[in-house]
Each structure stands twice: as structure tokens, then as C-alpha cells.
Amino acid sequence: MSTARPLVRVMLRPKSLLLLVLALAVAVGFALFGQWQLGRAVQNGHLIERPTEDVVALADVATPQAQATEKAVGQLVSAPGSWVQGDFAVLGTRIDQGRTGFWTIGHFVTSDGASLAVGLGWTADEADARAVADAANAGTQPDLPTEVVGRYQHSEAPTIPEDLDALPVDMAVPALLNEWSDPGPTYAGYLTLRSAPAGLGDIYSPPAQVEVQLNFLNLFYAVEWAVFAVVALYVWYRLIRDVYEKERDEELERSGADRAGSEATVD
């Protein structure tokens, strides 16, 4: 039977416990450095804030025939121009603050001659959406603005409905180009009116969320300090383990030597 002391007994020696206290102190120090670096990562980061609620000219933030930029998306913009009769339509399955309904959409041409897809408003009733679209196509909708003001958005991806007779569901500018008469140069995104015309409710278009960009160098240092804290505890364990294994080997050697001596005496 081996007389080697269990590892736990070696760990509970006063010297081992003293080393453990030292290792814990070093680990705590490293952890505090890591916490400080994490705080610096947030402090040295910066908020990505844009004055999205200040109305700016659409032409100042977006260009026809070009992808919508991050600067433009979510921005309140304005553009003077006119509507194209016959290009008003209805979209289905539009979600507005948890409610499913319909959008009336239109084709607006800015004073610079560029086409812009516009969501006029939302309603839970398809008949109301169609009524506004029909009136606008007939030129009898009284309150269509000659200067659109609203939030600029990324174009949605077009999808092909299973029922070809169903209403389109996506505000997809590429698909709308196929439906419009003589679109010309076109903005890649679309606009949702800030104030809907009579017969429709305003489309829910909240401002973009403020983003926080971290300082990744400080974040990397914080991770490094956390690793150092773990290593400090591992070094203590490895030292204790080495002592245990050394004493075990010495004990086994003594046992082997004693056994060999006993056998020699018997012979």
C-alpha cells in the first residue's frame, strides 16, 4: 500500500496555504487591472450619435443610383417635387407596432428629377388603403404634400408571393421600378412620411438606436489580465502538484529500497 500523502494534505500545509494566499492576492490584483481596462474600454469608446431628428435635404445625404449609406438611413429628410399619378399602390402584411395592416405607397419625383419610393401611411383596413391610392391616382387626394418630409430607410428585399394575385408585401425599390412609368434615376432607399395624408395613420418609424463603439485595445488588455489571474492560480496548483509528485516518488523509492534490503537479508 502506498504511503504517499494525498494531494489535498499537501495543499493544506501552512506553506501551501501561504502560497495560496499570495496567488489569490496576485489574481485579485490582475482582476482589478482587468476591471480597470474594461472601464477604460467603455470610457475611451464613443457614442455613434447622428442628429437623425434634424430634417436635412435628401440630396445632402443620399444620391440616386447609389446604395443608401449609414449616414442617410434613419435620417429625417425632405425633398420638394411632385407625385406621379398612376403609380400609387397598396402593400399588405405591414406590421406597425405589433399590428398587421396595409401601406399606401407612391412614386415621388424630386425637383432634381430623381424618383423616390414613399410610404404615405398605414391602416388596418385594406379598403382605406385602396381608397387613398385610388384617389391619389385619380388626382383627387387633397393633401398630398409637394415637399415630402420623413425618415429615409433601406430598401427591403423583394419576395415572390405564393399567390401571384396577392398584394405585394415588401417596400422593395427594385420591384417598384418594374411597376412605375418612366422612373429615371432612382434613390436606392425609400421614405416614410412623417405626417400621413387623410385616411391613413402615420407609419411607425422610430429613430435609429444610439450605438456604443468600444475601444477594442483596452478590451483586449482586460481579457489579458483575466487570463493572468487564472494563470496565477494555476501556477500555485502546479507547484503543489510538483511537491506532491516529488514526495510520492521519494516515498516509492524508499519503499523499493526497503523491500530490496529485506529480500537481500533473507537470502
Residue 13 lies in a domain: no
Q: Structurally, how many domains does the chain consist of?
A: 2
User: One-letter amino acid identity for 93?
Assistant: T
Residue 95 lies in a domain: yes
The verdict on 33 and 108 lying in the same domain is: no
The verdict on 140 and 247 lying in the same domain is: no
Tell me if 147 sits within 8 A of 79, measured CB to CB: yes
- Residue with the larger pLDDT of the pair 145 and 20: 145
Instruction: Report the distance separating Cα 168 and Cα 250, nearest Å.
Output: 83
Residue 169 lies in a domain: yes
The verdict on 153 and 105 lying in the same domain is: yes
The verdict on 154 and 222 lying in the same domain is: no
Residue 5 lies in a domain: no
Residue 141 lies in a domain: yes
The verdict on 118 and 89 lying in the same domain is: yes
Residue 262 lies in a domain: no
User: Which tens digit of pLDDT belongs to each residue from 151-205?
Assistant: 999 999 988 777 767 888 999 999 999 999 888 999 999 999 999 999 999 999 9
- Residue with the larger pLDDT of the pair 248 and 263: 248
User: Which tens digit of pLDDT belongs to each residue from 194-232?
Assistant: 999 999 999 999 887 655 555 666 677 778 888 888 888
Tell me if 190 sits within 8 A of 153, measured CB to CB: yes
SS3 for the chain, per residue?
Answer: CCCCCCHHHHHCCHHHHHHHHHHHHHHHHHHHHHHHHHHHHHHHCEEECCCCCCCEEHHHHCCCCCCCCCCCCCCEEEEEEEECCCCCEEEEEEEECCEEEEEEEEEEEECCCCEEEEEEEEECCHHHHHHHHHHHHHCCCCCCCCEEEEEEECCCCCCCCCCCCCCCCCCCHHHHHCCCCCCCCEEEEEEEECCCCCCCECCCCCCCCCEEECCHHHHHHHHHHHHHHHHHHHHHHHHHHHHHHHHHHHHHHHHHHHHHHHHHHHC
Q: Looking at residue 124, what is its pLDDT?
A: 95
pTM of the entire predicted model: 0.62
Q: Looking at residue 57, what is its pLDDT?
A: 96
The verdict on 124 and 154 lying in the same domain is: yes
Tell me if 120 sits within 8 A of 195, measured CB to CB: no
pLDDT class of 261 with cuts at 50, 70, 90: low
The verdict on 79 and 205 lying in the same domain is: yes
- Domain of 82, in residue numbers: 56-209
The verdict on 125 and 229 lying in the same domain is: no
Tell me if 186 sits within 8 A of 109, measured CB to CB: no
The verdict on 168 and 189 lying in the same domain is: yes
Give pairs for 45-52: CB < 8 Å, separation 24+. Answer: 45/212, 45/213, 45/214, 45/215, 46/212, 46/213, 47/210, 47/211, 47/212, 47/213, 48/210, 48/211, 48/212, 48/213, 49/210, 50/74, 50/75, 50/208, 52/76, 52/151, 52/207, 52/208
The verdict on 77 and 159 lying in the same domain is: yes
Residue 88 lies in a domain: yes
The verdict on 93 and 33 lying in the same domain is: no
Q: Is the pLDDT of residue 267 over 90?
A: no
The verdict on 200 and 155 lying in the same domain is: yes
Q: Is the pLDDT of residue 47 over 60?
A: no
Residue 16 lies in a domain: no
